A and B are shown apart, each in its own frame.
Chain A
Amino acid sequence: MYTQWAVEIKNVTKRYNEIVAVNNLSLNIGSGEIFGLLGPNGSGKSTTLKMLLGLVTPDKGSVTVLGLDPLKQPVEVKRLVGYVPEAANIYEFLTGIEYLDFIADVYGIPTAEKKQRITEYLKAMQLEGREGDMINSYSDGMKKKISLISAFLHKPKLLLLDEPLNALDPRSARIVKDFLHELKGQGVTTIMSTHVLEIAEAICDRIGIMYQGQLLALGNMDELRKTAMLPGSGLEDVFLKLTGTEDLRAVVEELMK
């Protein structure tokens, strides 16, 4: 289906002391693909994303991103990637515009282009009028918007988005979803981790379900349904079945006692 891989992960394992965060993971993601990484908390999604950026060194296996090794050529890889972490820890003493200015400079965006892009993004994300305020006065949603803009600003070839739509209002979430589709048309690859299954189902070309550091299932919605042997079901049922947590009635009954 894909002629070129944007990301190749081969037999990667990552341990934190006795905890195995990622266990022998192998996965290829095509250029221009929107790939969803699903899994319960602590299943290894964020660690996987960080390994793609060279922020976490695998204990075993290899990772190739856009033909580059993130461990050997970290700066080159980072230049091509836009990253949004789960927690928006950004420089709160800067104003929104100063932060984006900083990001644009770090990625080497020319001055005229920088001005145009920042202005457009601020308008699209409805941050106009607040861009001159210090970020410490922003709501979580506004901080997320600034984080997203900072990932899009330098027109990356690969987007690594960890829970990108958390805290966003419906309008902004819709803009981001549509924007990701547009970027796909331009050959930009997106890998996003999310707990919002409806979003994954709606926008992802393929979905990988991780559980305890391993890839349990991989494919588009039809393939996942087949794997779970749940024809006609939604992603929620497929996900719960594959991660072995489908029978939650007993848990709820216990809570009701």
Chain B
Amino acid sequence: MNWKNVLYLLRIERKSGRLIRGIKATRYKENVFIAYWPYWAALAIGVIGGYVASVAALTVYSSGSVPTGLKPLNVEALGFFSVLPTLVLGISIVFTLFQQVQVAGKPSSQVEFWLPVTWQEHTLASILANLLGWPAAVVVGLSSGVIVFSAFNGLILQALLTALIMFAAAFLASSITEILRVLQVRFTGAVYKSSGRAAIWVRFVSYILIIAIFYIIYFYVTSGFSSFITGLTAAQSAAWYIPLIWPALVISYVGKGLYLQALLFTALSALLIAGLYYLAVELNTRLGLYEPPAITVQKSGIYEPKTGFLGKLGFSTVEAALIRKDLRAFTRRRELLSIYIFPIILIIVALFGSFSGTSSSTSSSTGVAVSAGIIFLLPASVMGMLLGEILIGEEGQAIWRIYASPISPENLVKSKYFIAILFSIIILALSASIGVVFFHPSVREAIVATVEAFLMVLALSSVSLQVGFKGADFSQTRRARMIRQEWSLVGLIMCAVTGAAVFAPVIIPYGLSLLSGRSSSTLDYAVGVAISAVVSIAISAIVYRINIGSAEELLRKAET
């Protein structure tokens, strides 16, 4: 193993993920402090968190009235330390898999395939590169917190061991992701080959399912953190036969003074990590150069141009062509598929929220009403916002095709706006149906909520499209960026303000009627919705005009 090669590959891989996008810098100079900000931020949070936790613990334990059921400080602390590796493992798998999903649509440079680099070096660099993003920041944050906490409580050796094992757990997670990545490429290839045209839909559904499942796990872990930790502490001792728990068990046994068992699980963990690494190397050696076969969408010789339904809806040929192109993009481009996840997650979270709050109290009935409101309003609105923001930047490097074609600013804005509204309405239909089925609103409530959601979609799509024009990022280094981060934040604020303006005429009278104890009449709702419609249409129309100006500017300033 040439460690220098690993380091060189690692540097390139990580730097490609850090490069400033959206700026055509002819001379790029990296500021080390800014480049590594997640680690500094995690370190600062960890140190502060560790210190605060230490002060809190000392206050509780020195007060003389230690709450019943609380074990001695060192026992409680070591119990907490012992679940951290498993937690890091879970978070790292989720993060590294997300990273893989994000870069999946982008072909790798493959430079390392023809350089004198061995598969061992390549695999190790790939595992470490995956690891050195957010997972490493999580490890840095937790380690610094644990060490600072322990420095005041005489547990420094155990803390250092925990930090080391957390890093090992993150490496383990990254190795698993590397193995899954290689297998996924091979499996995908087999699916493409056998599914033919259906491969597009197989890929579409499976991606959404996989990401949705991981998001649910992630939300479950992070939303109920304390109960998750308590549950995990009890569960992992019993689940010693699961290899992924082994690193955590080392800390657990050290805490209990069972050093022989600790040594055994240290050896087993080391074997596991080495085994997974060699499995990743072996898989890369056999399958690393595998290129999935092409997806054949049409069979040859059956090309028949379609006149198209879009023309009947009043779209010109150019607009219809742009819309069809984007419809295909949002079912085929892997990096765009994640757009569907957020609305789906919102629906799931709202459903979870309502199920957990179905005990018959007033607050829980309000909670259910909030969940119902979320399910009707948020998924479609969020879809409109996200789509609007990325619809310009998603053109990527192929934006020249738009620049070079006889496409007017009106054509561009009309087609992009339509796409944002179309997808949002599909999501609205889905979320409203689920809302009706699970929350049984009255017909009046259902209609008001659906119409309000539609009005939000109209306004938010227009506003976020403006953000998409201003903050478009066409670079595709490592992965398609689509929107600059700062503009994404601006979009969030602008959409929040717009959403509030559209929804205020309905929600304010509703809130006042709740406070005064009288129920709103149909007329109240009708007036509210009418004002809301005027606000939404006015915002949409004004911003639509502004969008045409922005499109004109974009097409004119193609060079930048």
Which residues on A are within 8 Å of B, measured CB to CB? 16-17, 19, 50, 53-57, 71, 74-76, 78-79, 81, 83, 85, 87, 89-95, 97-98, 101-108, 111, 114-115, 118-119, 128-134, 136-137
**Interchain residue pairs with CB less than 8 A apart (14):** A55-B559, A78-B405, A85-B404, A89-B397, A91-B325, A97-B303, A102-B321, A102-B325, A107-B405, A107-B406, A132-B297, A133-B294, A133-B296, A134-B295
Contact A118 B407 (CB under 8 A): no
Is A132 within 8 A of B328, CB to CB? no
Per-residue A-contact encoding for B385-419, CB less than 8 Å = 1, 0 else: 00000000000111011011111100000000000
**Contact residue among B295, B329, B406 (Cβ-Cβ distance under 8 Å from A106):** B406
Bound-complex Cα distance A92 to B303 (A): 19
Query: What's the nearest-Cβ distance from chain B to residue A115, in Å?
Result: 5
Cβ 8 A contact of A132, one of B107, B298, B329, B404:
B298
Shortest Cβ distance from residue A70 to the other chain B in the assembled complex, whole angstroms: 10
**Closest chain B residue, CB of each to CB of A51:** B559
The answer to whether residues A93 and B299 also contact, given A55-B403, A102-B325, A137-B293 and a CB cut-off of 8 A, is no
Looking at A95, A106, A134, the one whose CB has the most chain B CB atoms below 10 A away is A106
Is B332's beta carbon under 8 Å from chain A? yes
Q: Which are the 7 A-B pairs with shortest beta-carbon distances? A: A137-B294, A105-B321, A132-B298, A133-B294, A89-B397, A79-B406, A93-B332
B321 touches A106 (CB 8 A): yes
CA A130 – CA B298 in complex, angstroms?
9
Cβ contacts under 8 Å, B486 to chain A = none
Chain B interface (Cβ < 8 Å from any Cβ of A): 26, 107, 293-301, 303-305, 307, 317-318, 320-322, 324-325, 328-329, 332-333, 396-398, 400-401, 403-408, 555-559
Q: Cβ of B404: which chain A residues have Cβ within 8 Å of it?
A: 53, 55, 78, 81, 83, 85
Known: A57-B559, A107-B405. A97 touches B298 (CB 8 A): yes
Complex Cα–Cα for A75 and B406 (A): 4
Which residue in A50, A79, A119, A136 is a CB contact (below 8 Å) of B303?
A: A119
A208 CB to closest chain B CB (Å) equals: 22
Q: How far is the CB of A35 from chain B (nearest CB, A)?
A: 19
Known: A90-B398, A128-B300. A115 touches B305 (CB 8 A): yes
Is B556 within 8 A of A71, CB to CB? yes
Which of B297, B303, B307, B333 is packed against the most chain A CB atoms within 10 Å?
B303
| Cα–Cα, bound, A108→B411 (Å) | 13
B320 with A85: CB separation less than 8 A: no
Q: How far is the CA of A131 from the CA of B296 in the complex (A)?
A: 9
Given A53-B403, A79-B406, 15 more contacts at CB 8 Å?
A55-B558, A57-B556, A74-B556, A75-B408, A76-B406, A78-B406, A85-B404, A89-B397, A101-B321, A106-B405, A128-B301, A133-B295, A133-B297, A134-B294, A134-B297
> B407 touching A75 by the CB < 8 A rule?
yes
Number of A-B contacts (CB under 8 A): 119
Compute how far the CA of A89 lies from the CA of B26 in the bound complex, rounded to whole angstroms: 21
Q: How far is the CB of B334 from chain A (nearest CB, A)?
A: 9
**Would B318 and A105 count as touching, CB distance under 8 A?**
yes
* Cα-based distance from A79 to B334 in the complex (angstroms): 32
Q: What CA separation (Å) do A108 and B559 show in the bound complex?
A: 26
**Measured between C-beta atoms, what is the minimum distance from A216 to chain B in Å?**
24
Which residues of A have CB within 8 Å of B107? 136
Give Cα distance in the complex from A92 to B294, angstroms: 11
Contacts of B325 in A (CB 8 A): 91, 94, 98, 102
**Which chain B residue has the least Cβ–Cβ distance from A129?**
B300
Chain A nearest CB from B478 CB (Å) reads 16
Q: Looking at the complex, which one of B328, B333, B403, B557 makes contact with A98 (CB distance below 8 Å)?
A: B328
Q: Which of A17, A57, A79 has the most CB of B within 10 A?
A: A57
Kindly list chain A residues whose C-beta atoms are within 8 Å of the C-beta of B333.
93
Instruction: With A75-B406, A95-B297, A132-B297 as known contacts, state yes or no: A108 contacts B318, CB within 8 Å.
Output: yes
Q: Which residues of B contact A93 (CB under 8 A)?
A: 328-329, 332-333
Minimum CB–CB distance for A95 against chain B, Å? 5
> Which of A50, A75, A87 makes the CB contact (< 8 A) with B559?
A50
Q: Complex: how many Å from CA A132 to CA B298?
A: 4
Q: List, in ascending order, chain A residues with CB within 8 A of B301's CB.
A: 128
Instruction: Tell me if B332 and A115 are in contact (CB < 8 A).
Output: no
* Bound complex: CA A118 to CA B332 (Å): 23
Taking A83-B404, A128-B300, A134-B332 as contacts, is the C-beta distance between A89 and B318 under 8 angstroms? no
A116–B298 alpha-carbon span in the complex (Å): 18
Distance of A85 Cα from B332 Cα, bound (Å): 25
Residues of B within 8 A of A92 (CB): 398
Question: Is B328 in contact with A94, judged by CB distance below 8 angstroms?
Answer: yes
- Asked if A89 and B294 make an inter-chain contact with CB atoms under 8 angstroms apart, the answer reads no
Nearest chain A residue, comparing its CB with the CB of B24: A16
CB <8 Å contact, A89 and B400: yes
Selected from A75, A87, A111, the residue in CB contact (under 8 A) with B307 is A111
Instruction: Report whether A132 and B318 are in contact in the complex, using a CB–CB cutoff of 8 Å.
Output: no
* Known contacts A131-B300, A133-B295; A90 and B305 CB within 8 A of each other: no
Contact A111 B295 (CB under 8 A): no
Using Cβ atoms and an 8 Å threshold, which residues of chain A touch B295?
A: 133-134, 137
B545 shortest CB reach to chain A, Å? 19
Which residue among A17, A53, A136 has the maximum number of chain B CB atoms within 10 Å of its CB? A136
